[in-house]
Structure 1
């Protein structure tokens, strides 16, 4: 799609013993103008994924989800989506541990399936994280207004844009450490909340002993949009989408594969700890919120984006502990800022991956002496300035439409990761490579990858099913514009470049492999 940079065309695989390009003098592939720095450890990968995943979806989103479907539907939705995410993460882990390259799944789609698929998948994923950066900057300003509304949101957008753009120019080791400490705050807060919830449920708060009373009245399930059992199922499927949005970001373990030291060991470890850490924290939080907060509270249905909209804060206020909402608002601010930090990182590395595969301009993969892809970071951070659109009413409409593009991008990406893994297994078989020799082996294959593909594809197609119950043209495009854009990108690249399905025997599984 883009002309290749002749000075960087031929390189030996990243991390191989022979770091000499096919032509020209030997150069260090880890730094300089030809590669990223493998300075991240397994714990850095884990906390980066946790930092991107645990955010407003968990702290704020579960409030409206609880009101829609009730506590048991919400709990089942998070457990079920956890199994889907597990299938995706193990599939990605098997490929990333064997071929740890920048932008991982974009490269896999290009090499294993079809360059057109890698093009569409990479660009829509890149845009989703870049525009989410603008969202997080805006959300940070709104959260600060919980304490004071005297300062304009524009000031905070500008301040945080400068800070997090600068952080992404630090050496990757420093970036990983900062992300780890930011993410630790959220993890510690959630653990503290779970312990506090147990105490509240046992009778410490103003409400006395709660137990499972809220599962009895108003009940375990709620009817949504239609009455009866159908309404309960509609409520469950609606919050299934919310649960999926909350898990988005877990796949960043694969995005950071190209900058990980000893990836054959670090990536499997990060996959296991990241998934189980996120899964346990999410399910426990949802369970205790459902126990202690009745789903028929008016406070759960609000358009606010600060701590007052969080069901965690609602539970604390009902328990009669006035100081904790301020603490949780500070944690919520930390959650948003950590996500913003991850947004720039992930989008810039996807951009590098696209450039490496010839699907983006080649200058975007250039790095400075410490291994930072500075052109990619600058381009991705510039999209954060779109947050200023929220300062006017007409600009807000434009921003909302841009944000809608990112809404289902992760579901599309997850489905395609499963497709890539299914192709990867066939390629290994055709090329005579034993899966048992891989650094990490995904369990229950190929059935788990089929499972992940089926449900991610189904959720992508049905995420806006409620618009068919009560038709709204704006809501229809809001729900499906991401899928429409993906199809346009795929078909457009296919028509222009005339790409074909990559033959199994010719698929490139050597470039970027670390032995």
Structure 2
């Protein structure tokens, strides 16, 4: 058969160009998968949708299964005991799962940069959104420092040598990876997270074996460590309450699913899948692992958690098998998890700062942070976020264990504030949706069973946790440093709120005062002075749910999205549908 002038067979499908995608000059069912153009790139730079469903799923797991689980559980066990640890992690896990469903509704409908920070600004209060965004950016920046500090703790298992050198090398590596392309970040996170998931599965198997007698002492442990003096609740109510903040630190990262929404392919399909599937895996990994830790490691194990060091319960359990190689392997995995968690925090913090700079119509950060490379990387935001991690080097002076504990408290409370904010934004979003008469069927993802109690439940329960978890810093003896680490986030949020609302209100107040006396012309040509009563300046800016625009930024599936959906449906109906179902379930 002859070829046309372009060297293409007349009956072969025409390749779709970028112009076709932008103008819409195509017919969906006539476009084969291999005719797709390269992924869409914003002509004016901006972020790229380069993260696949499998990468987003693993990012959610990788951002959560990290230092909080591998190291934080040691601190939780030492401070609260096995029963407090299991209960607190279960309670916080349920709260975070509801929070994730609420976030999923908004992130699927409006997959924008900045995520829940943007939703708080849009649906609740611009000033509160400003304070929240800067607070969460600081949270991510401190998380990088926390993870680099944790690396020093992990390295102490092998050598007391200057571990800050490794922290510095890790920092350089993370900055380089995040400076290339979002796919590089996603791929690194995918494989590191896969390693962690596989290791936890192995840990669960080994933990069961150690408990039933396959250990160095060759005896059945059972629930013996739950009945030693001081257990299972260590430190009374204060010890129990204190575990909440370490649990919140451990679960932190799930809310950043929304931050990846702005760079996720086909968010209408992928975001709901990630929300519904990922967290069940996290609950499974966390609760079973924590139960086994509490059964196999006594709360008073030497050097489990103190000012100078923190030992991972995972490493202890692997050591109980009687193999030094197994313990070293586990410690190596923990070190890679530290790298993964730092990678995740640096990515999230960079995107939050970028989201602040592109907030419309009033940017909430300097415009320089909105600049991106052609690859879609906001370099100025990346460098600003990574620079804060210099905090990790403070461990040389005050002790890695002590510093990591303080950073863990700060990040944990910041995570809780984020969850409260998601609840507030969802509450107002749902109110606006119903008040403006839009059908619930229009929601791309609808968590029906959380209506209407979901948002108030998250707001009130998490607020209660923030208040009570600092109990041990006040009773029986006041500790200024611990109290500071538990509650410093609250005055910072209040200060940032007042700063932004003042910046927005004071120009208007000045104009009102200047116009309080105005010369007017009356009939007959004479002039008089009319006193104008100044309008009251409001120091809050709650969004009017009856007027907020619910159509702006709604995601419309493009050609790439529709082709991906068609390809998926064909696979699930074809000859190999069962292998594909398993693949989509796992990946």
Question: Same fold by TM-score, threshold 0.5 exceeded?
Answer: yes
Q: Does 1:242 align with 2:252?
A: no
TM-score by length of 2: 0.77
**How many residues end up aligned between the 2 structures?**
482
Q: Is the 8 A contact 1:255 1:346 kept in 2?
A: yes
Q: Is the 8 A contact 1:29 1:35 kept in 2?
A: no
Shift in Å, 1:321: 2.8
Q: Is the 8 A contact 2:297 2:313 kept in 1?
A: yes
Partner of 1:293: 297
Shift in Å, 1:162: 1.5
Q: Does 1:58 align with 2:69?
A: yes
Partner of 2:354: 352
**Aligned Cα RMSD in Å?**
2.6
Partner of 1:448: 454
Shift in Å, 1:432: 2.1
Moved more, 191-200 or 129-138: 129-138
Q: Is the 8 A contact 1:54 1:246 kept in 2?
A: yes
Shift in Å, 1:220: 5.9
Residue 214 (structure 1) aligned to one of 225, 230, 236: 225
Counterparts of 1:374 and 1:322 in 2: how far apart (Å)?
Answer: 43
Shift in Å, 1:52: 1.7
Q: Does 1:505 align with 2:552?
A: no
Secondary structure class of the residue paired with 1:323 = helix
Counterparts of 2:270 and 2:126 in 1: how far apart (Å)?
Answer: 28
In structure 2, do the counterparts of structure 1 residues 155 and 473 end up closer, same or farther at CA, with 3 Å as the change threshold? Answer: closer
Q: Does 1:263 align with 2:267?
A: yes
Shift in Å, 1:17: 6.8
Secondary structure class of the residue paired with 2:474 = helix
In structure 2, do the counterparts of structure 1 residues 401 and 198 end up closer, same or farther at CA, with 3 Å as the change threshold? Answer: closer
Q: Is the 8 A contact 2:246 2:412 kept in 1?
A: no
In structure 2, do the counterparts of structure 1 residues 155 and 236 end up closer, same or farther at CA, with 3 Å as the change threshold? Answer: closer
Shift in Å, 1:158: 2.6
Secondary structure class of the residue paired with 1:506 = coil
Q: Is the 8 A contact 1:32 1:367 kept in 2?
A: no
Residue 192 (structure 1) aligned to one of 197, 202, 218: 202
For structure 2, the 5+ residue unaligned runs are 1-20, 25-38, 506-539, 557-587
Shift in Å, 1:455: 1.2
Secondary structure class of the residue paired with 1:121 = helix
Q: Is the 8 A contact 1:39 1:259 kept in 2?
A: yes
Shift in Å, 1:484: 1.3
Q: Is the 8 A contact 1:32 1:370 kept in 2?
A: no
Counterparts of 2:227 and 2:159 in 1: how far apart (Å)?
Answer: 40
Q: Does 1:45 align with 2:56?
A: yes
Q: Which has the higher contact order (CA 8 A, sep 6+)?
A: 1
Shift in Å, 1:437: 2.3
Partner of 1:416: 421
1:116-515 matches, within 5 Å, as: 116-150=127-161, 152-207=162-217, 208-218=219-229, 221-224=232-235, 231=236, 233-305=237-309, 309-357=311-359, 358-392=363-397, 405-442=410-447, 443-469=449-475, 470-498=477-505, 500-515=541-556
| Max Rg structure | 2
Secondary structure class of the residue paired with 2:549 = coil
Counterparts of 1:335 and 1:395 in 2: how far apart (Å)?
Answer: 18
TM-score by length of 1: 0.87
* Residues 432-457 of structure 1: per-residue CA shift (max 9 Å, x gap): 22122212112321212211111111
Q: Is the 8 A contact 1:138 1:153 kept in 2?
A: no
In structure 2, do the counterparts of structure 1 residues 346 and 239 end up closer, same or farther at CA, with 3 Å as the change threshold? Answer: same
Q: Does 1:70 align with 2:81?
A: yes
Partner of 1:9: none
